[in-house]
Structure 1
């Protein structure tokens, strides 16, 4: 069969039959709706499905006769090797694009952000990766990351700042879990990275507990340094209330009037502001209720607002006050911190023979044993009420 010429191709009309190329089996120029224009089509039988298929190779004259022949010949070679050219093309166009570590990390961060309790944690999560990981692994594709790469990131501060290293490792692990789940890698390299790094000092050895004021000292400290008849001294009132309720300072600082039931004297902290993510009820002693009554009128929503900006107080407010009043602690060379009063309360509970269960419920500690937690259906509010009143009477025992 004679080869198709440009002269003949340029004269193809809409009603003409397809013009065979003549040099490649199955290749023909099909007419279009305009004279002198056509579409290249290669007809073949798929070696995979044994069905007849038509492969488009482009339009004439944009794709010349010679170019169409080269494309068709390549497809014929693929057919001879047992491959379907259209399936190969489809596989190539749908190939998974592997993202870099930084691209994946930012995607994971965006997906996780709505589930975090506060924006501060979200910013810390991505900032640690920006500082420690992106400079080394940021531009590396997920399927190319090895345990050695991860170890190189962690090694400079693995022993010096173990807490930070642990958090960075955990966040890298989260990103690589996402990568594994999406088919971007065959395994998580962080799972074995410990074998490439030295053994860290045990957490129990390196953990530095929050400086706490000995419980026997609290009454005198409150009477001499904290208690005041000034109605609107927010900082003093906040510290007193935090001690009386054995709550975390952040829970008290963001406390709202809508959380207080003055009829039953109960403060209910919503799940979103609890470390455990579980609603917590605190029975209020008469002294705690009196402090709340003194705070009325300062703000429509917040119980302990910042006097100037009328927003939630920062976590440094109580820290600065305790330093200024030289609040002694059980840690040599350090002043007591607000969180330490929870430890003081826990020690007082033990010394006064309150049950472990009631004391832990008062502190809203999570029960780690799942079997034990399954049987805890009550928060023992009534039992805790009497305990919190005895505690309040004790801490105020030196107030005139």
Structure 2
């Protein structure tokens, strides 16, 4: 069949019911006449600009074989078209699960990690067609270089494919069956870089003098003063702040341990909050970013610390505080751990330890603030 030379409007027949249809405007389409379940039907197989003669013949032969065996090529095609791509399925699963995640960072991380590492390889594949080899292509480049990231990406791919199994689109989850195909990675604990507590005052001074956005500078200093986690500070809202009682109450939904956490506020922390109110955007968010009502990103805080020349992770400020308590004060371990919202002891001990030692922690956080202001030992 001379596809390129066929220009006169009409039908040009090949084999297995396949023919080329040329429209009066010159466009050309592949069509197949076929008997499906006793009824004569016509199936469009695509434009000649997208489907070659060889591909059209292959499709026509496959359709004819399916029909002769009692199948329905039309129904099969509709079913195939109904299956989402891996990217579409991922975004749908993300929407389904988002209300159950405890904070905005988890919601963002789920989809952003797939966008960065998975979609370039398997995003356009039907969720039903993703194979173990495809998952390996995603994970192999980062498995040893970024083991924690790779583990999370694998887990998230598995979550999407489990949903595809539940939809009846596939029978297996290849993300669960590739362990032996990946190199072993040591389970060494990742320690966040921290500054010696003797350098924290200098770091805070550098933060204040930097040209960063006011909200960023206030959030970082507040994080240092309260020894809180980055996400706890960045996602803080004014409803959690009780200025009269010098208290910040973080709800259980935003805490790692799923328990509400009371944070006593020192005088410098209260000053920061007053400044944040004055320089804020009027939304419920205490430390907004550049967009109205949207919190600062974790990268924003980390970037500022690095740009100022301090080799430390934002989470490491908690380590600096904990080391200061241990080496420079007489506060018991239980009080320091409570300030970090860490559980102490076994389940039985925790069941009887009902107090969060707020008064003792208030004294300790005041001492920490004074140490940062004057650089002297406090206990």
Q: Please report the TM-score for the alignment, with normalisation by the length of structure 1.
A: 0.59
The corresponding residue for 1:161 is: 146
Name the SS of the counterpart of 2:177 in structure 1: helix
The Cα offsets for residues 218-254 of structure 1, whole Å up to 9 and x where unpaired, read as 34655x64678xxx96555444322221123443344
Take 2:246 and 2:150, find their aligned partners in 1: how far apart are those partners? 44
The corresponding residue for 1:391 is: 368
Name the SS of the counterpart of 1:168 in structure 2: helix
Alignment of structure 1 residues 55-94 onto 2, 5 Å: none
The corresponding residue for 2:264 is: 283
Take 2:177 and 2:349, find their aligned partners in 1: how far apart are those partners? 32
Of 348, 356, 359, the match for 1:379: 356
Name the SS of the counterpart of 1:244 in structure 2: helix
Confirm whether residue 251 of structure 1 aligns to residue 228 of structure 2.
Answer: no
The corresponding residue for 1:110 is: 95
Deviation at 1:345, TM superposition (A): 0.5
Of 168, 171, 177, the match for 1:192: 177
Name the SS of the counterpart of 2:374 in structure 1: coil
Take 2:127 and 2:290, find their aligned partners in 1: how far apart are those partners? 50
Confirm whether residue 261 of structure 1 aligns to residue 259 of structure 2.
Answer: no
Contact 1:283–1:388 (8 Å) recurs in 2 = yes
Confirm whether residue 211 of structure 1 aligns to residue 186 of structure 2.
Answer: no
Alignment of structure 1 residues 78-157 onto 2, 5 Å: 99=83, 102=86, 103-117=88-102, 121-134=106-119, 136-138=121-123, 146-157=131-142
Deviation at 1:382, TM superposition (A): 2.6
The corresponding residue for 2:321 is: 345
Deviation at 1:215, TM superposition (A): 1.0
Name the SS of the counterpart of 1:243 in structure 2: helix
Take 1:368 and 1:263, find their aligned partners in 2: how far apart are those partners? 33
Take 1:143 and 1:317, find their aligned partners in 2: how far apart are those partners? 38
Greater displacement, 336-345 / 287-296: 287-296
Take 2:217 and 2:85, find their aligned partners in 1: how far apart are those partners? 48
Shift in CA distance, 101/166, structure 1 to aligned 2, threshold 3 Å: farther
Take 1:106 and 1:226, find their aligned partners in 2: how far apart are those partners? 38
Of 156, 162, 169, the match for 1:177: 162
Contact 2:105–2:231 (8 Å) recurs in 1 = no
Contact 1:305–1:313 (8 Å) recurs in 2 = yes
Structure 1 unaligned blocks of 5 or more: 1-66, 72-87, 328-333
Number of positions where the alignment pairs a residue of Structure 1 with one of Structure 2? 298
Deviation at 1:273, TM superposition (A): 4.2
Deviation at 1:308, TM superposition (A): 10
The Cα offsets for residues 233-283 of structure 1, whole Å up to 9 and x where unpaired, read as 655544432222112344334444332223321111234544445432101
Take 2:112 and 2:374, find their aligned partners in 1: how far apart are those partners? 47
Structure 2 unaligned blocks of 5 or more: 1-34, 40-69
Q: Please report the TM-score for the alignment, with normalisation by the length of structure 2.
A: 0.61
Contact 2:226–2:365 (8 Å) recurs in 1 = yes
Shift in CA distance, 183/281, structure 1 to aligned 2, threshold 3 Å: same
The corresponding residue for 1:363 is: 340
Contact 1:148–1:196 (8 Å) recurs in 2 = no
Name the SS of the counterpart of 2:263 in structure 1: strand
Take 1:127 and 1:296, find their aligned partners in 2: how far apart are those partners? 31
Shift in CA distance, 150/366, structure 1 to aligned 2, threshold 3 Å: farther
The Cα offsets for residues 41-90 of structure 1, whole Å up to 9 and x where unpaired, read as xxxxxxxxxxxxxxxxxxxxxxxxxx9xx89xxxxxxxxxxxxxxxx99x
